[in-house]
């Protein structure tokens, strides 16, 4: 439960994911796009996907404080 009166913010992302066949097996790759700002990034690791999404959310908060 929130202790203040602010409503939680919502972010919208589009994620495209595909499986890439490699000589040594396969791996998942993808792209992610922030729908509002149109910022985007390719990724090979799930941690890169999460880092981008967290960064975009924190950027929105930084912009709101400016």
| Distance of alpha carbon 8 from alpha carbon 24, whole angstroms | 44
Is residue 1 over pLDDT 90? Answer: no
Note the pLDDT of residue 46. 95
Torsional sign, CA 15, 19, 20, 25: positive
Is residue 49 over pLDDT 60? Answer: yes
Nearest to 50 by CA among 36, 32, 65: 32
| Distance of alpha carbon 3 from alpha carbon 18, whole angstroms | 41
This model's pTM is above 0.85: no
The whole-chain average pLDDT of the chain stands at 88
């Amino acid at each position: 439960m929130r202790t203040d009166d602010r409503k939680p913010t919502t972010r919208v992302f589009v994620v495209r994911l595909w499986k890439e066949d490699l000589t040594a097996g396969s791996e998942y790759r993808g792209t992610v796009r922030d729908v509002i700002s149109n910022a985007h990034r390719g990724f090979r690791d799930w941690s890169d996907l999460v880092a981008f999404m967290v960064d975009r959310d924190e950027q929105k908060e930084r912009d709101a404080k400016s």
